[in-house]
Amino acid sequence: MASNSPAPENPFGSGVFSEDGAAASPGVWNPSAETVRPVRGRHRQRVLKQRGGIARSSTVLGVGVMAAVGAGGIATAQDKPAVSISLPDAKSLPGVGSLVSGDEGSTADENAPTAAMGLAAQQTGEQQTAAEALRSRILEQAEEQQSSADAAARAATELEAAEQAAAQAEKAERAAEAKAKKEAEAEAEAKRKAEEEAKAKAKAEEERKAEEERRARLANSFSLPTSSYVITSTYGQSGSMWSSGQHTGLDFAAAAGTPVKAVGSGTITAAGWAGPYGYRILLQLSDGTEILYAHLSSMTVGVGQQVSAGETIGRVGDSGNVTGNHLHLEVKTSGGAAVDPMAWLQNKGLAV
């Protein structure tokens, strides 16, 4: 509680309340005079008592104002204990007790402070009620703001969760689409490969059948052993050039390297060097007939290979005992008897 400022040394100069004492002046009331007594009668000094009543009312009113001001803090300090305010009795104050009268005439004036205190209490109650109402409004506003903040936080959380769920769903959808696309591509690739394999298999089957048909046709067909030739020696021709004195085959003179062909379909039973025959090939036909090709410059088949009529099996040359490039052709039956190659070829429908 703040302390009062010190009183001045000489607040008054001279005069009524000077340091030397009160100067006597007519019509001025001196409260220190012992002879002053309440005046009875019609003209009582109500003005003086009113001044004392006003002073006391002002004191009480100030207390009420302080209470009213303190009530404004009730909203924030309800849990704190109330501060008691005590005032001294007006009669105990120096120079004031003598002014307080106990007669009936002063009852109305003495009741004025009580009324003022009641009014101040009423005002304090009203201010307290207003403060409580303000506090309630402030709390409601705070609760509303907190509720709004909580709602905003929940909305933000829900929005974030929704966005995360949407992102996860989109990611899963993209993954599913990628997986479906990959599966579709794999299925399409497998289908394409299956179709290609089926086509290749069908083509191979067609080629196999065509080859079989060709071989079947060629099995009953025959071909000349070479082309662009000239017959130089025939079968049974006599001469000292042959060890037996007679020619055992048919000679086709042709340029070196001219293709030598199989006269019919069959199997190669021999292919290699054969002394006086030079490079020689033996072809056994399907009916057992054996065809001999001699004096070749090169061979393009091997033992055990299947050939068809008209297929190239070697080249014309001059290997062995020869005087020039030519193909020596011999024909033997399945029993091993030698026959005239020209007659045999002509018998197969070939013009030699």
DSSP structure string for 2-33 = PPPPPPPS-S--SSTTBTTBPPP-TT---TT-
Mean pLDDT of the chain: 78
Contact predicate 297/280, CB 8 Å: no
What pLDDT is recorded for position 100?
A: 55
The residues near 260 (Cβ < 8 Å, ≥ 6 apart) are 225, 226, 281, 293, 296, 312, 313, 314, 315, 316, 327
The whole-number pLDDT of residue 75 equals 47
Band the pLDDT of 37: cuts 50, 70, 90: low
Q: Which of 272, 297, 291 is nearest to 333 (CA)?
A: 291
Averaged pLDDT for residues 270-289? 95
Classify domain 230-347 at the CATH class level: mainly beta
Higher-scoring residue by pLDDT: 297, 44:
297
Looking at residue 111, its pLDDT comes to 59
The amino acid that residue 324 corresponds to is G
What pLDDT, on the 0 to 100 scale, is given for residue 20? 52
Nearest-5° Cα angle at 136, 131 to 137: 95
What is the DSSP code string of 210-257? HHHHHHHHHHT----S-SS-EEEE-TT-B-TTSTTSB--SEEEE--TT
Which one, of 215, 242, 218, 216, lies nearest residue 328 by Cα? Answer: 242
pLDDT at 88 over 80: no
120 pLDDT above the threshold of 90: no
Does the pLDDT value for residue 290 go beyond 50?
yes
Taking 80 as the threshold, does the pLDDT of residue 52 lie above it? no
Residues 6+ apart with CB under 8 A from 267: 283, 284, 304, 305, 306, 307
Contact 296, 279 (CB under 8 A): yes
Contacts of 278 (CB under 8 A, 6+ apart): 294, 295, 296, 317, 318, 319, 320, 321, 322
Per-residue model confidence as pLDDT tens digits over 141-157: 888 888 889 999 999 99
- Select from 341, 173, 335 the least CA-distant residue to 248: 341
Distance CA 108, CA 116 (A): 13
Record the tokens describing residue 169, joined without a space: 């769903």
Check whether 76 has a pLDDT greater than 90: no
First CA to last CA distance, the chain: 155
| pLDDT at residue 343, as a whole number | 94
- pLDDT of residue 117 exceeding 70, the answer is no
What does residue 338 show for φ and ψ, rounded to 5 degrees? -80, 140
pTM for the complete prediction? 0.41
The residue written with tokens 């005239």 in the block is 340
Q: Out of 175-189, 217-231, 257-271, 293-307, which region has the weakest mean confidence (pLDDT)?
A: 217-231
The whole-number average pLDDT for the span 119-148 is: 81
Residue 22 has pLDDT above 60, yes or no: no
> Residue 47: pLDDT band by 50, 70, 90 thresholds?
very low
26 pLDDT more than 60: no
Q: Strand 259-261 and strand 312-316: pairing?
A: antiparallel
Query: What is the number of residues in the chain?
Result: 352
Predicted local distance difference test score (pLDDT) of residue 60:
46
**Strands, E, within the chain: which ranges?**
230-233, 250-253, 259-261, 266-273, 279-285, 290-299, 306-307, 312-316, 326-332, 338-339
Considering only CA atoms, which of 74, 62, 70 is closest in space to residue 132? 74
Identify the band that residue 116 occupies on the pLDDT scale cut at 50, 70 and 90.
low
On the question of pLDDT at 162 being above 80, the answer is yes
Domain boundaries, the chain: 46-142, 230-347
With beta carbons less than 8 A apart as the criterion, state whether 333 and 347 touch.
no
pLDDT band at 241 (very low <50, low <70, confident <90, very high): confident
Here the tokens at position 163 are: 């966005």
Q: Shortest CA distance to 277 belongs to which of 309, 242, 312, 236?
A: 242
pLDDT tens-digit map of 190-221: 999 999 999 999 999 999 999 888 767 655 68
The Cα 344–Cα 330 span in angstroms is 10
Residue 93 clears pLDDT 90, i.e. is over it: no
Say if residue 54's pLDDT is above 90: no
Strands 230-233 and 250-253: antiparallel
